Each structure stands twice: as C-alpha cells, then as structure tokens.
Structure 1
C-alpha cells in the first residue's frame, strides 16, 4: 500500500491545500493529512482541533484521506504511520527552496522517506493561510479562498473566541 503524509499547519485550510490533497489522493492509496504543531509559528488563529474539523469537512468527499493532528518530528510520525511518502505543495520558487532543504534533511534522517512535490494549480498560487488570516482580521470576504463549508466553521470559531 502506497501511503503518504501531507502535513502542515492549515491555519486555516484553503482551496489551494485541498487542490494538493485531491491530486495526491489520486497518486496514493492513502493520504494522511496531519495538522502539525509548528513551534516556528508563534501564534495560531485556530486550535489544532478546529483545524482538524475544518480539514475533515473539506476532505469528506475523498474516501482515501484521513485527517489527524500531531506534534513532534515528521519522520517519526511517518514511521509510526508506516508512510513512505511526504507530499508537499509548492506555490513559488521560494517555497521550493525551503521545501527542498527540508526534504534533504528528512532524507538524511530516514533514507526510505521520499518527498513528492506537487505544483499548485496556477489559479491558486496567490492563496495562503496567512492571506486568509489577514482578510479575516479586517472583515474581508474569504468565501472564494476556503473550501465550501469551511467559512461557516471559521465564523463559528471566531464567535466562540469573542464571547
């Protein structure tokens, strides 16, 4: 069985993320989408539990996709899940530089792990979670940037936080 991990902070999940996950789901028998705690990101807008809920809603149409969360090392998570592949989406050359270095480090740690890069659909290359967060902060319309149903979850979580 060809199993891959697609990890990220997904704060929040965007239509660009879902495009990568959908395309990866056609390449592998199982995709494990994992919300990782990233100590390099000082603050998160949504809790890991909320991000998992958003991803489950956005990927419910994909029978070979499972969503979870984790903290720790990606290579250890892959070993625990018996996944041999890591899927990374690339929007721009700057993404490639960062992801290439990361893939080489993971390969050094565990030579059986392969990183598969999937280029973004050009229609989504400008979309980022940080851009969505900025729009949210100023009350902007995010409806065309996040998957169907996710905007409602985001609004629900925001209401909880303001109470």
Structure 2
C-alpha cells in the first residue's frame, strides 16, 4: 500500500503554538507529514530558512510519527508532487483565512487535481496567533510567551536584541 503523504507548507517565521497544533493534528491524518518551510522574501523573514528548519525540527521532535522538515522554493503543487504527497494540510484561524485559502485551494486544484487540500481549524485558544504579530509584539518589547514555546521565545528575544527593538521604552507614569 502506498503511504499517505501530506504537506504542511509555511514560512514558520517563527513557528508558533498554532503551527505546532496543526502539525500534531495533521500528522494523525497521514503516514508521513512533510513540513515545507518556504522562502518567502516578501514576508521579511526574521530568521533564515536554515534557522527556521532547525526551529521547526526541534519543536516537532516530541510529536512522534513520521514528520520531515524540508525547505522549498517552488510552486507548492510542484513541491507536493516531488514529495509524493496527495494532501496539502492548511490551518484556518478566521473567516479572512478561509477566503484566501479557498482561492488558493481552487488554484492548486487546477494546477494538480491529484492533490487535495484539507483544512484544519486552529484550536480556539490558538486562533489569534500569527507569526507576523508575534514578531511585531516582540519588536516592540511585548511578551510573546503565550504564543510560542520558551525555546522559540528565547530565539526571538535574542534576534530582537541583535537587530534592535522598535519604539521607545514604555513610560507608565
């Protein structure tokens, strides 16, 4: 029997608790889940692809099951085909996500009808989390503990210290 392979693509800059939740749940749907770390320069990454791969590998190590983390810089459907995947796993947080993801799923279906897109709703407690917002909060010196693991928090904090915080220190009175 051919193994069921799924791909969960993203920039993971940084990987959040929401990403880990989708990876944990997506891994249950397939024999092997390939976490595709994409190079999306338009998103102004805080971490290099290599750093993000290492971060994702560390964060998913405890999940168990067959999870591979791979970099890619191609059309998602070409990447999925190269991995032998027949499923794309996507996480949804809100209606705005659904609109974009629905359009992408339709386009991807036109490109490669052999690969299905499966949507997983983020856990209610994790729905507001977005990497972009985590970075913004960190860059302004805010707490990100509720959105990422302690190890990711430390990496983000160290990177912010290296590149410099935005804004001025809080003045509470």
Give the whole-Å Cα distance in 1 for the aligned partners of 2:31 and 2:156.
30
TM-score normalised per structure 2: 0.87
| Structure number, greater radius of gyration | 2
CA shift digits 1:114-156 (9 cap, x unpaired) = 0000001110111111110111111111122112422223334
Give the whole-Å Cα distance in 1 for the aligned partners of 2:130 and 2:160.
19
Identify unmatched segments of 5+ residues in structure 2: 165-173
| Alpha-carbon RMSD | 1.5
Runs of 4+ with deviation above 6 angstroms:
none
Matches within 5 A, 1:4-43: 4-41=6-43, 43=44
TM-score normalised per structure 1: 0.92
Give the whole-Å Cα distance in 1 for the aligned partners of 2:65 and 2:86.
20
Pair 1:102 & 2:115 matched: no
* Structure having greater relative contact order (Cα 8 Å, sep ≥ 6): 1
- Report how many aligned residue pairs link the two structures: 161
Give the whole-Å Cα distance in 1 for the aligned partners of 2:101 and 2:159.
31
Give the whole-Å Cα distance in 2 for the aligned partners of 1:5 and 1:64.
12
Aligned to 1:58: 59
Identify unmatched segments of 5+ residues in structure 1: none
